[in-house]
Amino acid sequence: MRLTDEVGASRDPLARAALVEQVRVSLQVRPSFPVIGVSHPALTPSRLVDLVTDHGRILQLSVGYGEADSSAGRFVLVSSGLPDRELDDLAGLLAAEADRLGQEITQAPPMAPELTPAGGLQLNVPMEADGLIVVDGLPVPTHLRRQGRVWAGHVTVSPGRVVTVIARGVDPGTLQLSVVSELRPYVAAWEEHQFKAVAAAAFMGPTPDDASGAVGQGLEAHVELLRSVLVRRAAARAAGVDATVLRRGGQPDHEALWDAAVSTQCHYAGQLEGEADAAVASMVNQALRLAERAAWAADVGKLSRALEEMARFTVFDSDVHSRRAQEWWGRVWTLTTTRLPDDPQHAKERHREFAATEAVWLTAWERWAGVGEHGRR
C-alpha cells in the first residue's frame, strides 16, 4: 500500500474512511527505522503525507511541513525508510513535484532573501551540488538538485541511512532535521485533512467506481444513510468521540437522510413510522458494530456489498447471502436495547447470552466475507 496512491485513486468517502483505519492499524507498531522530521524552520501544518507498506511491514514514511498545495508557499517533505530501500532519482522527484503543482515551479523564480542566505544554496550554483544539512545538531553530507525555488536532496543521516528531502522556498543552508519522537500528532493531522477533503467533496453522492454498483429502486436512501454514518463514525473516532447512533439525532443533513430511509421503509416494507424508525436504527447500528468489530471491514468492496445486503434485508426481507448473520443481529440488537434485569444473577446470565450471541453474529459475517473472497456460492 502507498498512501498517496490510495488517496489519489479514490474519491469515495467510504474508501477514505477505510484507509484511515488501515493507516491507524499499520502504525500501531512504530517503524523499525528512525523517522526524521524538520526542527527548523517552524512550518505549519505538520502531518503524515505518505506511508509505504508491504504485507504489514512499513517500508517508508514521509512527513510534511508547511503549505503543501501552494506553489508560492514554503514546504518541506522528509521521507525516511529502510536502509536497503531504493532511493528515488532527484530529477524525477523534482519533475513529479512540478507536475503536482501544475508546472508552476518550473518558472524562473524572483530573487528572494530566504533563498540566498550566507552559506546557503545560491540561485547560480550548478543544477546538482554536494553540501551539508544539519541533522540532530551535526552537519551531514547531502547531495542536492535544484529547480527554481524547489530542491530535492539525499541526506546521509548516518552511515547506510539516507533520507530524502523535497523543499520549496526553504534554503538548505537554514534547514535543520531531527528524529521525530512522537508520530501521533502527524497521523491525527493527516486524518483531519482526509475528513475535511471528504466534506469538501460533498461525499454523499455515489461514485462511478463504487464497488457496490447500482443498488436499485428503494435502496438508495438506506445505503446513502449507511455510508454517511460510517464516514461520520471514522471522523468521530479520529476526534475521540463516541459514534454510536441509537436514534435520529445529529446534524440536519443526517436527519434528512434518516427521514428519507424511514419514509422508504414505510413505503416498501408496509411498516408504521415507529416500526420503520426502529428497523432503520437496527440497520445503522449493525453497520457501525460491523465496522468496529470485523477486520475485513477495511476492504471497501466487501463493506459496500455488506451495506447493500443490509439495505435489501431491512427493506424487502430479501434472501441475501448474509441473511443468517443479519437474523442473528436481530437478537444482538434486542439484547443491546433491552434493559438489564434487576436481579444480579439474571443480569449476569444476560451478559453471557449477549457475548455468545454477538460471537455467533460476527462469525456468520466472517463466513460471508470468506465466501466473497472467491465468489459467492
Same domain, 291 and 362: yes
Instruction: Say if 16 falls within a structural domain.
Output: no
Domain-terminating residue out of 182, 209, 231 = 182
Q: How many helices (H) and strands (E) does the chain have?
A: 10, 9
Handedness of CA 337, 338, 340, 342 (dihedral sign): positive
Instruction: Say if 214 falls within a structural domain.
Output: no
Phi, psi of 193 (to 5 degrees): -65, -40
How many folded domains does the chain comprise?
Answer: 2
Provide the pLDDT for residue 245: 53
Domain-terminating residue out of 163, 182, 201 = 182
Instruction: Say if 211 falls within a structural domain.
Output: no
The DSSP element (H or E) to which 168 belongs, if any, is: strand 161-168
List Cβ neighbours of 196 (8 Å cut-off, separation of 6 or more).
Answer: none
End-to-end CA distance of the chain: 30
Instruction: Say if 257 falls within a structural domain.
Output: yes
Cell triple for residue 215?
A: 443498488
Provide the pLDDT for residue 113: 35
Phi, psi of 124 (to 5 degrees): -100, 15
User: Given the DSSP bridges, would you call strands 46-54 and 176-179 parallel, antiparallel or unpaired?
Assistant: unpaired
Same domain, 226 and 357: yes
Q: Would you say the pTM of this structure is higher than 0.85? A: no
Provide the pLDDT for residue 121: 43
From residue 213, give the alpha-carbon distance in Å to each of 6, 100, 302, 308. Answer: 20, 31, 12, 9
Q: Which region holds residue 320: left if phi is over 0, alpha if psi is between -120 and 50, else beta?
A: beta
With cell 548516518, the residue in question is 158
Q: Give every strand in the sheet of 138-147, ordered side by side.
A: 36-40, 176-179, 128-135, 138-147, 150-158, 161-168, 75-81, 57-66, 46-54
Q: What digits encode the pLDDT tens for the residues 167-213?
A: 999 988 899 999 999 998 998 888 877 766 655 543 344 443 443 33
Same domain, 80 and 174: yes
Range of the domain at 96: 31-182
Same domain, 233 and 332: yes
Provide the pLDDT for residue 193: 77
Same domain, 282 and 364: yes
Provide the pLDDT for residue 211: 36
Domain-terminating residue out of 155, 182, 209 = 182
Same domain, 360 and 267: yes
Instruction: Say if 3 falls within a structural domain.
Output: no
**Does residue 286 contact residue 326 with C-beta atoms inside 8 Å?**
yes
Same domain, 98 and 228: no
**Does residue 178 contact residue 63 with C-beta atoms inside 8 Å?**
no
Same domain, 40 and 176: yes
Same domain, 89 and 232: no
Provide the pLDDT for residue 215: 40
Residue 95: Cβ-neighbour burial (10 angstroms; 0-12, 13-18, 19+)? middle
Provide the pLDDT for residue 13: 65
List Cβ neighbours of 337 (8 Å cut-off, separation of 6 or more).
Answer: 246
Mean pLDDT, 10 residues at a time, over the chain (377 residues)? Answer: 61 68 83 96 93 89 90 91 90 87 51 38 60 93 88 93 94 93 90 66 41 52 88 68 55 81 90 93 93 85 90 91 94 91 90 91 92 42
Cell triple for residue 246?
A: 441509537
Instruction: Say if 317 falls within a structural domain.
Output: yes
With cell 508520530, the residue in question is 183
Provide the pLDDT for residue 5: 62
Instruction: Say if 21 falls within a structural domain.
Output: no
**Does residue 173 contact residue 139 with C-beta atoms inside 8 Å?**
no
Same domain, 37 and 164: yes
Same domain, 174 and 240: no
Instruction: Say if 223 falls within a structural domain.
Output: yes
Distance in angstroms (rounded) separating the CA atoms of residues 35 and 273: 55
Same domain, 157 and 256: no
